[in-house]
A = this chain, B = another copy of it.
Amino acid sequence: MKLLRVNMDDLGVRWYPVPPVYLQLGGRALIARLLLEEIPPACDPLGRHNILIFAPGLLAGGGVTTAGRLSVGGKSPLTGGVKESNAGGTAGDTLAKLGIKAITVEGQAQSGEWYLLHIKADSAELLPAGDLKGTGTYATSDRLQERYGADCTVITIGQAGEFCMHGADISVTGERDQRSNHAARGGLGAVMGSKGLKAIVIDKPLGKSIPLADAELFRTASRTFAQKLINDPKLGTKGSQHLYGTASIVGAVNEIGSLPTRNFSSGSFEGSASLRGEHLRELVLEREGKIGTRCMPGCVIACRNNYYDEDGKSIVGTLQFETIALMGSNLGLSSLDDVAQLNYICNDFGLDTIETGAALAIALEAGLAQFGDTERILALLNEVGQGTIIGRVIGNGAVTTGRVLGIRRVPAVLGQAMPGYDPRSLKGNGVTYATSPQGADHTAGNAFGARKEVNPLGVQGQRELSLKLQIIAAMLDSTGLCLFARPPVIADPQLMVDMINGIHGWGWTKEELDRFNRDVLRTELEFNRRAGITAADYRIPEYMREEPLAPHNSTFDIPDDELDAVFDTL
């Protein structure tokens, strides 16, 4: 394995052997360590000292189902802390097959200059990409696949990243014309934009495979893993994830009163029926769209859909729960067609739908349009790509929008907007938002699945639950696994140990894996500490501690000392 170091100051592209300190790391774990070792923690996230990292997980490239997610990382302009955000598509798998442990992008190109990084087998070069300036992610991906071959992987930013908007994300293509995979959170698209890097193109490695330290061990474990996923009642071909996608939970989140509605002013939405996964499935099938598609080749869960409009035209490659919550109920919209339109525009501009949905809702609360007014909301969102002043405000996310428009009800922690679970009625997620080094992020430890075991409205047990989930999330994000694939490896951690040892031959035990997972969080917390982030910065917004949320009239009432103690047993 090797590191590909791209220096935007001198436009140098250099290969390095992997230093020992990084050898047994991948994905999120590697990102945390690289940031701690290599950048001044207090640096400007959009300045030349930040680094942008692309790293496949430890299981990438070997054909483990769901394990090809690409981790993208850097110091976040939104949170000011460590950030890892991952995406499906073919990049994780492809980089691993090329023997690339990580790409680091350092320095900054001359202001106004744009480049693309082209990686082909063992060579890589930076090429001028001024012609792509101002081009959305869909057209950029299309044009680069026309130029470099339909099988290449394209990683790109849209207009939002070019403008260095803090809500900007990074898109990753999947097989051929598969799109709509985004490393969405934390504003990493702005980091890519700040470096003058518009896109990365990776030619498909022909006939490449990763070396296996113990092929037998690996094959047995990975097959068992896949089989267990297939047999899982929720995940298999008859499971709700496959049938309805992530949208399967819209109804349940609404029922527990945690569905963000009209800028987090209610936890239940009167129009939620038409946003549910069941309705989504009906619509998609009726319009001859596709259900059960994949973000990564070989995924046995296949939770995605291809959402078509009434005229049978494909709109987005997957319409997902977080987008439906933040850009549906949270904007007072009850039509999936409307949400799909907004989703498409976000994808094209390269904008996180969570951050942008939260920002739009704040703009609506400020009176820039009515909740539910699709046309005006679309117009506001379109301004982001045009770079108008209000567009730049919204594109910079919830906190900036709240500040500019004088709105104090801003659902964000550590500068980053909350995903689709109001912490007042899913308090385990509140604990994660208020303690995760990643800021408000459901993927860092989502308590929704445990709502039967721990009362989502209670205080009891939330701290322990959040920590457990955060440790598991750290493992998944470091191995490249999809979050949905966690049941088999939680039930039997040896399966994960065997897959890792099968590829790498490290002879890890379950205890060593556990230590590895915890070390990810420790490293991230240490980075944030050095970046100047303290307990006070992690708090849930004041209004959520005081303003009761319908229908349970609950507030976020986990005491500060409980929050401060979450990592005591890390």
Are B42 and A539 interface neighbours, CB within 8 A? Answer: yes
Bound Cα distance A403, B401 (Å): 11
Are B542 and A536 interface neighbours, CB within 8 A? Answer: no
Bound Cα distance A390, B390 (Å): 8
Residues of B within 8 A of A41 (CB): 536
Is A541 part of the contact surface with B, judged by Cβ < 8 Å? yes
Are B532 and A406 interface neighbours, CB within 8 A? Answer: no
Residues of B within 8 A of A164 (CB): 406
Closest Cβ of chain B to A409, distance in Å, is 10
Are A408 and B532 interface neighbours, CB within 8 A? Answer: no
Are A531 and B542 interface neighbours, CB within 8 A? Answer: no
Beta-carbon nearest neighbor of A393 in chain B: B404
Bound Cα distance A559, B520 (Å): 31
Please report which residues of chain A, range 11-46, place their CB below 8 angstroms from some CB of chain B when the two chains form the complex. Answer: 41-44, 46
Are A532 and B543 interface neighbours, CB within 8 A? Answer: no
Is A165 part of the contact surface with B, judged by Cβ < 8 Å? yes
Residues of B within 8 A of A405 (CB): 392
Is A163 part of the contact surface with B, judged by Cβ < 8 Å? yes
Q: Mark A517-541, 1 if CB is under 8 A from B, else 0.
A: 0000000000000111111110101
Residues of B within 8 A of A532 (CB): 533-537
Residues of B within 8 A of A539 (CB): 42
Beta-carbon nearest neighbor of A399 in chain B: B403
Residues of B within 8 A of A536 (CB): 41-42, 530-532
Is A281 part of the contact surface with B, judged by Cβ < 8 Å? no
Is A396 part of the contact surface with B, judged by Cβ < 8 Å? yes
Bound Cα distance A49, B546 (Å): 11
Q: Mark A526-566, 1 if CB is under 8 A from B, else 0.
A: 00001111111101011100000000000000000000000
| A49 partner, pick from B46, B389, B542, beta carbons under 8 A | B542
Please report which residues of chain A, range 290-323, place their CB below 8 angstroms from some CB of chain B when the two chains form the complex. Answer: none
Beta-carbon nearest neighbor of A383 in chain B: B389
Are A404 and B400 interface neighbours, CB within 8 A? Answer: yes
Q: A42-B536, A534-B534 are contacts. A403–B406 as well, Cβ < 8 Å?
A: no
Q: A532-B535, A532-B537, A536-B530 are contacts. A542–B47 as well, Cβ < 8 Å?
A: yes
| A403 partner, pick from B42, B47, B396, beta carbons under 8 A | B396
Q: Mark A41-61, 1 if CB is under 8 A from B, else 0.
A: 111101101000000000000
Are B165 and A406 interface neighbours, CB within 8 A? Answer: yes
| 5 nearest A-B residue pairs (beta carbon) | A532-B536, A42-B536, A532-B534, A44-B542, A164-B406
